[in-house]
Structure 1
């Protein structure tokens, strides 16, 4: 009893790598190895690069909008038409300013997802599921090992990136203290530069952390989709089909094929026998084929059935042991006989036609 329980335990233990079908099923459900940190890091990196490249363009357009507002719009009468016009013009200018950043952000977000999971479209995660709002399962997720790992990861990211940004501030602390003696434009330029350095440095650090997180997510995903030996057997059985069901299907197919074959025997011209072990029913229709065709064949019990049907329908039976054996082994049902049998079969058919002519 104890040994049986141990075997059942090991059979249910998930020790096997997931099969390709299991991976496909999980992917169709939207379950893939993915790190949100990779998306965030790539998005921030591209955003800061765009700010560095288009920063001057964005600044000039914002200043132009500011100047135009206080030199032109401020003198306009407040009416419905002027407000609508101001709103349209301001929105167009703001769109021009943020368009490069928004376009690159969208491209970066799509690229980050494609980099991790490839092309994947599924509505499975959007389906309503009562299990998702189960308070007990929700509490288990909150206090699970995975939740603890995610908390520690978040704390580590905050500390790690915080140390990097503080280190950059510490490097430029003396110059920051001197900005009170410089012009506003110079101070803004300096703080903008420091902010860009902090942002890019923090983003690179986050990118390195995201690579580590992605490796962990893949490990955790592979662990969660592992299968037990029984799961693998069940999947294989489902793919290949239950052996019992398959055998029944094959038996049914054999029965259908046999009935179809037996229904062709009455149309045969002759049945060549062994005399008891083999039976080959041959039909010759010069309009449909250039050579005689085997419409039925069998050995043992099936050979007896073919002869019984032939006798019931007054089909002539001819005994020819070598020919019956040779035809059975070399010709399939509904196939024409090979050329090397033409002479022997032609002689038998001629004999049959003579007998039929005498009878008629």
Structure 2
């Protein structure tokens, strides 16, 4: 019983397959503080550089329109609806750049944390999320406690930052009532941007330990037991597609090794079209000739093409080619009952080589 409990304990790191499955489900380590801080930083930087001109232009257009058209327009249901639509459109156009920047910053924040990923799995309705017992456990879990502490800490630090900025500029705040509307709005806007940038930088600093914690917690959540790893290995081994790919890869590697040995061979015995068996005789390695490559149909054609490229002699012997293909494996010596036939072929090949060497020497 104790051994069974130990086997079910989540003590092992997640396998690549488990990580891929959790990623497809949208379960990835991600800190929302990274997104929030980037969105605030980009938006308030934009306001710092162009906010004054944008707000002044927007209010100037609205005031000009109000004093030239709206004040002399008859108040009816249609005119009020048109006025509301016009003001809403102007306000939307004014904040549209900020919305686009915020969306870009949020997307970029997610990308730098989890990379390119698109999944609809988290959006699917799951009835187990309505389970009150599981919900109660989530509320009072260690993760919820950590999130509560983080939230309280962030609120405290953000509040302290805002209070500090207001306190250091208290004189300007107290003098707002004595300033013109334009100057007062300028001071309020500048203080707002200053507080926004300070909070954004603060959240960016806090997002570093938060992201580290999220990665740690994610690794802890996806841990596997020894039994899980064994079951996964069995499932992979039993998958026909995995077996097929593995077999295909093994065949490709075997073909590559065969092709590398052909240039050093002595002869290729062919069928002539369906079978090809490559032989080599090396007294230092074996007492008898041995097979360095063999193939049928397409593989046989590749073997013969490779042999032609390196001027390896090819001898057509249908009976011997079939017998060698079916009775021997790569690296195995020629069977005893085929010694005589193979010896005759090798003798013929050696005579050809000697004749070729003699002709070459005579020409020279």
Report TM bin, short chain: 0.5 to 0.7
CA distance in structure 2 between the aligned counterparts of 1:56 and 1:192, rounded to whole angstroms: 8
2:120 aligns with: 123
Q: In the alignment, which of 168, 173, 187 is matched to residue 170 of structure 2?
A: 173
Query: Contact between 1:33 and 1:117, CA under 8 Å: does it hold in 2?
Result: yes
Q: In the alignment, which of 131, 140, 158 is matched to residue 161 of structure 1?
A: 158
Check 1:180–1:76 CA distance in 2 against 1; reply closer, same or farther (3 A cut): closer
Deviation string, structure 1 residues 311-331 (Cα, Å, up to 9, x no partner): xxxxxxxx945247x69xxxx
Q: In the alignment, which of 205, 210, 227 is matched to residue 207 of structure 2?
A: 210
1:291 aligns with: 316
Deviation string, structure 1 residues 151-200 (Cα, Å, up to 9, x no partner): 11111111111111111111112332233333333222222212211111
Query: Contact between 1:46 and 1:104, CA under 8 Å: does it hold in 2?
Result: yes
1:226 aligns with: 223
Q: Over aligned residue pairs, what C-alpha RMSD do you find?
A: 3.3
Q: Secondary structure at the match of 1:94?
A: helix
How far off its partner does 1:118 sit?
1.2
Q: How does 1:1-360 map to 2 (within 5 A)?
A: 5-59=1-55, 60-78=57-75, 86=83, 89-241=86-238, 291-293=316-318, 294-295=321-322, 297-298=326-327, 320-323=337-340, 340=346
CA distance in structure 1 between the aligned counterparts of 2:123 and 2:317, rounded to whole angstroms: 64
Query: Contact between 2:48 and 2:193, CA under 8 Å: does it hold in 1?
Result: yes
How far off its partner does 1:89 sit?
4.3
Check 1:323–1:126 CA distance in 2 against 1; reply closer, same or farther (3 A cut): farther
Query: Contact between 1:43 and 1:108, CA under 8 Å: does it hold in 2?
Result: yes
Query: Contact between 2:41 and 2:201, CA under 8 Å: does it hold in 1?
Result: yes
Aligned residues: 270
CA distance in structure 2 between the aligned counterparts of 1:15 and 1:182, rounded to whole angstroms: 66
Query: Contact between 2:26 and 2:121, CA under 8 Å: does it hold in 1?
Result: yes
Query: Contact between 2:11 and 2:225, CA under 8 Å: does it hold in 1?
Result: yes
CA distance in structure 1 between the aligned counterparts of 2:170 and 2:80, rounded to whole angstroms: 45
CA distance in structure 1 between the aligned counterparts of 2:133 and 2:173, rounded to whole angstroms: 53
TM-score, structure 1 length as denominator?
0.66
Check 1:122–1:342 CA distance in 2 against 1; reply closer, same or farther (3 A cut): farther
CA distance in structure 1 between the aligned counterparts of 2:165 and 2:79, rounded to whole angstroms: 47
Q: Secondary structure at the match of 1:128?
A: coil
Answer with 1 or 2: which has the greater Rg: 1
Unaligned ranges ≥5, structure 1 = 251-287, 300-318, 328-337, 344-360
CA distance in structure 2 between the aligned counterparts of 1:159 and 1:123, rounded to whole angstroms: 35
How far off its partner does 1:115 sit?
1.3
Q: Secondary structure at the match of 1:16?
A: coil
CA distance in structure 2 between the aligned counterparts of 1:182 and 1:93, rounded to whole angstroms: 27
How far off its partner does 1:67 sit?
2.6
CA distance in structure 1 between the aligned counterparts of 2:63 and 2:197, rounded to whole angstroms: 28
